[in-house]
Amino acid sequence: MSHARLSPSSASRWTKCPGSLNLITERKIQDKSGISAEEGTAAHELLEKCLLESKHPSAYLGQFFNPCTIQPKGFEVDQDMVDHIETVYDWVMLQTEVEGTAMYAERKVFPGKLFGRDDCKGTADVTLIAPPVITIADLKYGKGVVVEVANNLQFILYGLGVLADLTPEQMRKIKFVDMVALQPRAFHKDGPIRKMRYTVADMFAWAEWFRKAAIATDDPNAPLVAGESQCQFCPVKRSRLSCPALRDKSMEAFEVKNVEQLQAKVLRDPRSLSQEERRLIIDSADIITDFIKSVKATAQEDLMNGVPVPGQKLVRGKGGIRKWLDEDKVEQHLTRNLGVKKNELFADPKLLGVEKILKLAKKAPKMTDAKLEKLNTLIDKPKGKLVMAPESDERQSIGSERALDAFKDIVIPTKETGV
């Protein structure tokens, strides 16, 4: 998914850290979506289809949305997703019952029109126009990060984008813009649907604020400013080279200027720290944690690419859960060759797990070592992921799989090949 340079979804970053855009461009960093983001895209696609076709989410139970690299088939609409999107769908349908309401799903908006930019645009999930009110509702399918609606920069930009499309006559009829967060999976004291109201005058004041923030990003020497909200989803901290501002902020929290001083600080007994030192470290805990994760990620990335990291190595992590390669063959082998009754194999409607089947098989009347060995060939245990560990770790060091893959098609010289 491509985004505008000044995208509403990243407004909390580029408005507070104007130099981040230059750094992302300079390092040619691609913002990769994780499985949670891809699942969220699937939920958005489901909601859009429900609204455009006026069908309840349950009508799409069992269908797949958003095929992607992480999930080639897409994400299946299960009952859990139906229940959560139902909360949002029912709310939107209730709003449309007001006479004269126009509803738009996935509406393209261009907020930059109101502050002189053509690089600020996005897509509003749900737009409801019912003079004198415009409502901007945005689905947040995540459950890990609770989204606040008050002064939410992304929502405000969507609102500006809708206002930018109105004719002067339509604009005269609008007095308020309501921002609504639709977050059915995360707990919030105000419930899954939360609203904030702005006047049109408020919105135009925000447009001027965004104009100044956008200009700041154009400066080649725009500053990098570390902070919890702007660093939270910044792709820089996940890149091979971490953000210098994040590094400096972490050092600042410990009141040190170099690694040697940092080491001396962190090796101290926490009880020897002054109250002010404790306060500073605690207040910066999230940023420090982010920086440490970033450093570890960049070091592991080096190891994966075959670049040595002093004191560290790659090892194989814990393997995945065992599963059957072919359940039909397992069933046939157990019933025909081992004498196990079919009704013992299933926990309706699925075949029992590997551990339970193996226990059952070992007690089977026709069990032999050869038959058990054949059953074991039907088990798939995914390899554990490569993880970084100290050289003192007892696990065997494993070379970079990427380096091995790069040479897998190279012919090794032999007498037979003559090369």
pLDDT in tens, 147-159: 999 999 999 999 9
Q: CA 101, 107, 108, 109 torsion: positive or negative?
A: positive
Orientation angle between helical segments 35-53 and 79-96, nearest 10 degrees? 40
Query: pLDDT per residue over 316-362, tens digit each?
Result: 877 667 777 788 888 888 888 888 877 777 766 677 778 888 888 88
Instruction: Summarize the confidence of residues 19-26 as an average pLDDT.
Output: 91
* pLDDT at residue 401, as a whole number: 52
User: Which tokens hold the place of 362?
Assistant: 């070992």
DSSP states along 283-338: HTHHHHHHHHHHHHHHHHHHHHTT---TTEEEEE------EES-HHHHHHIIIIIS
The model carries a pTM of 0.65
Higher pLDDT, residue 380 or 138: 138
Highest mean pLDDT among 32-41, 210-219, 369-378: 210-219
Q: How far apart are CA 299 and CA 308, in angstroms?
A: 9
Torsional class of 350: left (φ above 0), alpha (ψ -120 to 50), beta (otherwise): beta
Confidence of residue 254 (pLDDT cuts 50, 70, 90): low
- Angle of CA points 257, 260, 266, to nearest 5°: 90
Higher pLDDT, residue 106 or 321: 106
Per DSSP, the three-state class of 347 is strand
For 358-393, b/e burial (b = at least 16 CB within 10 A) is eebbeebeebeeebeeebeebeeeeeeebbbbeeee
* pLDDT at residue 235, as a whole number: 84
Please report, for the chain, the start and end positions of each structural domain, with discontinuous segments joined by +.
Answer: 8-218, 228-304, 311-320+382-419, 325-378
Q: How far apart are CA 55 and CA 45, in angstroms?
A: 13
What are the distances in angstroms from CA 235 to CA 13, 17, 33, 261, 271?
10, 13, 10, 28, 36
Query: Rounded to 10 degrees, what is the CA torsion of 380, 386, 391, 396?
Result: 30
Confidence of residue 84 (pLDDT cuts 50, 70, 90): very high
Higher pLDDT, residue 136 or 239: 136
Reported as type and span, the H/E element at residue 139 is strand 133-139
Q: Give the distance, in angstroms, between the CA of residue 400 and the centroid of all CA atoms in the same chain.
A: 26
Q: What value does the mean pLDDT of the chain take? A: 84
Q: By CB neighbour count within 10 A (0-12 exposed, 13-18 middle, 19+ buried), where does 300 fall?
A: middle
Tokens 């902020």, residue located: 249
Reported as type and span, the H/E element at residue 357 is helix 354-362
Residue 407: is its pLDDT beyond 50?
A: no
What are the distances in angstroms from CA 155 to CA 115, 162, 170, 175?
16, 11, 21, 17
Q: Tell me which of 3.30.450, 3.90.320, 1.10.1060, 3.30.70 is the CATH number of domain 8-218.
A: 3.90.320
The single-letter code of the amino acid at 216 is A
Give Cβ neighbours of residue 415 (< 8 Å, ≥ 6 apart).
Answer: none
What are the distances in angstroms from CA 18 to CA 119, 216, 220, 229, 419?
14, 6, 10, 13, 55
